[in-house]
Amino acid sequence: MSRISDRIRYVGVNDDEKSLFEGVWPLPFGISYNSYLVVDKKIALIDTIDEGFEKEYLEKIKGEIGSRVIDYLVINHMEPDHTSLLSLMLDIYPGILIVASERAVPMLKGYYGLTDDDVLVVRDRDHISLGSCDLTFHMTPMVHWPETMVTWMNAEKTLFSGDAFGSFGALKHGISDSAFKCECGFPHGKDDAFSMYMDEMTRYYSNIVGKYGNAVQSALKKIALLEIKRICSAHGPVWEKQIDEVIGLYDRMSRNEAEPGVCLVFGSMYGNTAEAARSLADELAVAGVPVAVHNLNVENISGALRDLYRYSTLVVGSPTYNGGIFPPVEAFMHAVSARMVRHRSFFAFGSYSWAAASVRHLNEMASKAGFTLLNEGISFPHAYSREKCNMKAIAEIIRANISENS
């Protein structure tokens, strides 16, 4: 069902073929590229979609408006997954006027060769009339590019939010949470849209938007003045029933709030650091501490970043490698630092053969990131053993710290 309301039509598509979003982040459940038509005396198209779906996209648009022309193409965000079909739309609808923020203009010229005559530049709270309804534009810079804005349709209390409130995961259970039907898919056992998409929404935020928490907070304060009854994001479901949950999740993540628990991340060359990680995970489970374990030998860092935002304690294991940190773990720590996450406790461990260095370097990186070190960590020589690493005692230190700060 593509009709969200009499005036708002969904013309987005699902992408089940791409394996990596932005060439980096895994897509085990696909992704949607959402685009919307607002149909009135005049017609506005809100964002386009990624390339490769031209035929399906045009068929959907023609199915909604027939031979009518599109008057405005609103660009909330310039990334190519939202603008790749801009030139195609200009060819098909040569009179279309591009509506975008001032900061988007150089990108429109650089990506698509547009001129000033092609673009209607809008500033904060500017609006355009479509007939019986207006679209008002609110600037939301650095969520998560400098030119981003959101579009507000007051007549239906609808926010077209760009990447804000976005989620990985194709739309296989209905376009909106109001039409949600859980018949199969990810993850199993969920009976409402927010519960089903929450992990993928958290992963999307942590992977892509997370560095810009302050900008997200500014945007949230701005949209808090609006009476929102519907959120139409650029990725993931249209939210109508569970708006409070969605906004609440973004608010908590952008303020670096976390639930009690451990994100345990490790890499291992010959299995000794991996044994230590498994032992600590077992002891944490026995102590009743929620723990999510990520082996970077076989995983993309995407899931580990998600659980960094979820849990209050980060535990990282790495062997010493060339006098430093094992490369996959070091890459993860750089990604952690880049996201400027705050209010996390930290513990490091790792094996070495002839010179202990990884734990020291991990502690230095965590300290620079503003994390609280639980202690100096554990460096153990050669093979793992319970005698060298009292993981039961470490689990108790972690549990006590979580309890004290919960």
Q: Which domains does the chain have, with CATH numbers?
A: 8-254 (3.60.15.10), 259-405 (3.40.50.360)
* 18-42 pLDDT, tens digit each: 999 999 999 999 999 999 999 999 9
Number of CB atoms found within 10 A of residue 6's CB:
9
Residue 173 has pLDDT above 90, yes or no: no
Q: What dihedral do alpha carbons 14, 217, 210, 78 form, nearest 10°?
A: 50
DSSP code string of 59-74: HHHHHHHTTPPP-EEE
- Give dist(CA 174, CA 161) in Å, integer: 19
Mean pLDDT of the chain: 95
Distance CA 264, CA 310 (A): 12
At residue 156, the pLDDT reads 98
User: Rounded mean pLDDT of 218-227?
Assistant: 96
Is the pLDDT score of 1 beyond 90? no
Distance of CA 238 to the CA centre of its chain: 16
Can you tell me the mean pLDDT for 367-377? 97
pLDDT digits (tens, 9 = 90+) for 71-87: 999 999 999 999 999 99
Q: Is the pLDDT of residue 217 over 60?
A: yes
User: What pLDDT does residue 183 have?
Assistant: 57
Spatial contact of 357 and 386, defined as CB atoms under 8 Å apart: no
Cβ–Cβ under 8 Å, residues 325 and 340: no
Residues 245-253, mean pLDDT to the nearest whole number? 97
Across the range 392-398, mean pLDDT stands at 97
Is the confidence at residue 184, as pLDDT, over 60? no
Q: What is the pLDDT of residue 188?
A: 52
Q: Which residues of 361-386 are buried (b: 16+ CB within 10 A; e: fewer)?
A: bbbebbeebebeebeebbbbeeebee
Q: Does residue 236 have a pLDDT over 80?
A: yes
Q: Is the model's pLDDT at 52 over the cut of 70?
A: yes
Q: What percent of the chain has pLDDT over 70?
A: 98
The pLDDT value given to residue 266: 98
